[in-house]
Amino acid sequence: MEYKIVNGLVIGASSGLYDVESEGGAQIVQCKPRGVFRKNEQTINVGDRVNVTYDDVISEVLERKNSIIRPPLSNLDILFFVVSSCEPSPNFLLLDKFLAVASHKSITPVIVLTKLDLKAAQDIIDIYSKTNIRIICVDYSSQKTKDEILALMSGKISAFTGNSGVGKSTLLNYLGNFGITTAQISKKLGRGRHTTRSVSLFKLPCGGYVADTPGFSTFDTNRYDIIKKDELAFCFEEFEQFSHACRFRDCSHTTELGCKVIEAVNKGLISKCRHSSYCTMYDEAKQLKDWEI
């Protein structure tokens, strides 16, 4: 009879072995996967919920609510996009692509603005104020910013992403490295937190986990993360209140007469910048062949 750790959480991976935290966090066990996983080319990601047998073998990966390919992470709740308002200025098309993928995968996106230039920051706020995407302006002199971010992370699996030079490291240091200590790694593993791994999850004092993702600047929007053109508009949630009234049921919201989304853009109810990103992404999605999706 096989006794299992029910709903164990994969918190680390290295050289084909996986660190699994038992439900409730009572223990961390280093496990290997069943041989059938390799045979079936089934992956195990950090963030996966798994069942483990009495002899420390992962017997089953439970259903994922989402996953990203690089870095390999599953079941993300929140993705913080660290964006500099200046030096470097944000690439809105790239940011909107990432925001759309997050929405498509049911990951809550949060924009964190650093290096605040008041006018540039306000321009960014104006673009995204017409969405439900939360925007946090970092004020390193205030405890309020830290409390706001940590409150969002409580009880969630979260990660931070941002291009080089946007101040992600400064932000993470400001947040206090989340109080992560070497003692949080099981003695059974015989190693500390700085061991090289592709991804690790660390438990937060306030509850929840944060992904430690070395080299994680921007996650790949590769072919595994492609959004079909017919699904893209749903990833721009500010379109929803207008799109149902479009003249044509299959309106692409790009050039059609009678498109209520375009009318909303012209009236300033939807950001022209966001709509421009959408149109570019729609044109790119149109070029895809069925076998590429």
Give CA–CA dist 209/180, Å, rounded: 10
Residue 134 pLDDT: 95
Residue 123 has which token pair?
A: 């321009």
φ, ψ at 113 (rounded to 5°): -90, 125
Tens digits of per-residue pLDDT, 29-38?
899 998 888 7
Tens digits of per-residue pLDDT, 64-116?
999 988 778 999 999 999 998 887 888 999 899 999 999 999 999 999 998 87
The ranges assigned to domains in the chain are 5-63, 73-212, 226-292
Report pTM: 0.84
Give CA–CA dist 252/259, Å, rounded: 8
Give CA–CA dist 106/102, Å, rounded: 6
Residue 214 pLDDT: 54
Residue 261 has which token pair?
A: 């989304």
Quote the longest CA-to-CA distance of the chain.
66
Give CA–CA dist 122/116, Å, rounded: 9
CATH number of 73-212: 3.40.50.300
| CATH class belonging to 226-292 | mainly alpha
SS3 content of the chain, % helix, strand, coil (to 5): 35, 25, 45
Return the CA Rg of the chain.
21
Q: Are 255 and 248 in contact (CB under 8 A)?
A: no
Strands 73-74 and 67-68: antiparallel
Residue 179 pLDDT: 46
CB atoms closer than 10 angstroms to residue 102:
24
Give CA–CA dist 209/156, Å, rounded: 6
Give CA–CA dist 282/275, Å, rounded: 10
Residue recorded with tokens 């919920």: 49
- Measure Cα distances from 61 to 24, 64, 134 in Å: 18, 8, 32
Q: Which residues of the chain have pLDDT under 70?
A: 1-6, 177-198, 213-225, 290-293
Strands 28-33 and 17-21: antiparallel
Residue 219 pLDDT: 56
| CATH class belonging to 5-63 | mainly beta
Give Cα 16 distance to the centre of its chain: 24
Give CA–CA dist 19/11, Å, rounded: 6
Give CA–CA dist 100/262, Å, rounded: 19
